[in-house]
Amino acid sequence: MTDQSGEMTHVAIDNANLLILPAPRPAGVMVFVPALGVRADYYAAFARALTRHGITVVLNELRGHGRSPLVPGRHTDFGYSALINEDLKKAVAYVQANFSNLPLVLAGHSLGGQLVTLYAARYQPPAAGIIQLACSSPYYRGFPPARRRAIYWGSFVIQAAAALMGYFPGRTFGFGGREARRLMNDWSRIARTNLFNFRDDPYDYDGTLAVVGCPVLSFCFPADTYAPLAAARYFTDKLPQNRLKLRLLDIPEFQNTDHFNWIAQGALIAPLLAAWLSRATV
């Protein structure tokens, strides 16, 4: 089913909901996954900036948000595995079927950056590159001492709240939205162990991150307390270092840029990504 609003098209494939913004003269196609609790259309202006640089953008809505009809609760539960192996897998298959002549780019913000990288580890798609924006491991040791304690013990509180409510009430806690219990259980275990293994999925993601075959670009922002550079390294250190570019954007234009407000500077970030992709695909 599709519906069209302006230049953005909505495509629903089972639980995968895609918002598509075509570039007028596309040189590549990007599947982009949002951060925890963030609607896909939050990235619309950023996606339009990318289209001006020849990148068609397919925003992959997270379950339970935006155009997704699912409401996390006791009888509607899912974790990392469903987002990777069902929704993202269908999104990539749709792009490969409909944009087969364009180089594929996998990109994501925060949790979304984790998901696209884990997808690439498992399926090794013929991607031109992976882009992570404000993305890190939530592992508590990647944060300053005071936040370490908050993340470590807070992970148990998150799990307890999700068990009690049947979902995690993120708006109450100021972290995410209404989130699935299993998703937050997965996140909480990663926060304590830095291991991307999931109870409903026996696949060895940590083992195959080391053999991801395409280039990876990871941007961190100076004022980001959710994904500081040290925390980003706990994730990117799992990847082949000869294919990785990890960069803190500590230039004057980004001095006050944090985990979410980078989107307001999307017009500055888009050409940086496009330039990196043009080199990665040579």
198 inside domain = no
Residue 237 in any domain: the answer is yes
67 found inside a domain: yes
Could you give phi then psi for residue 67, rounded to 5 degrees?
A: -80, -5
Which amino acid belongs to residue 234?
Answer: Y
Examine the pLDDT at 273 and tell me if it is beyond 50: yes
Q: Residue 281: what pLDDT?
A: 63
**pLDDT above 90 as % of the chain:** 95
pLDDT band at 255 (very low <50, low <70, confident <90, very high): very high
What CATH number should be reported for the domain holding residue 39? 3.40.50.1820
Question: Does any domain span residue 262?
Answer: yes
Residue 180 lies inside a defined structural domain of this protein: no
CA gap 265, 49 in Å, rounded:
10
What is the pLDDT at residue 279?
A: 82
Model pLDDT for residues 49-103, shown as the tens digit of each residue: 999 999 999 999 999 999 999 999 999 999 999 999 999 999 999 999 999 999 9
Reported residue count of the chain is 282
**pLDDT tens-digit profile of 6-62?**
489 999 999 999 999 999 999 999 999 999 999 999 999 999 999 999 999 999 999
Q: Which domain holds residue 221?
A: 2-138+203-280
pLDDT at 1 over 70: no
229 falls within a domain: yes
Tens-place pLDDT, residues 211-247: 999 999 999 999 999 999 999 999 999 999 999 999 9
Give pLDDT, residue 280: 73
Q: Over the range 38-76, which residues count as b (16 or more CB within 10 Å of their CB) and which as e?
A: bbbbbbbebbbbbbebbbbbbbbbbbbbbbbeeebeeee
Residue 197 within a domain: no
Tell me whether residue 27 is in a domain. yes
8 A C-beta contact, residue 132 and residue 113: yes
**How many domains, the chain?**
1
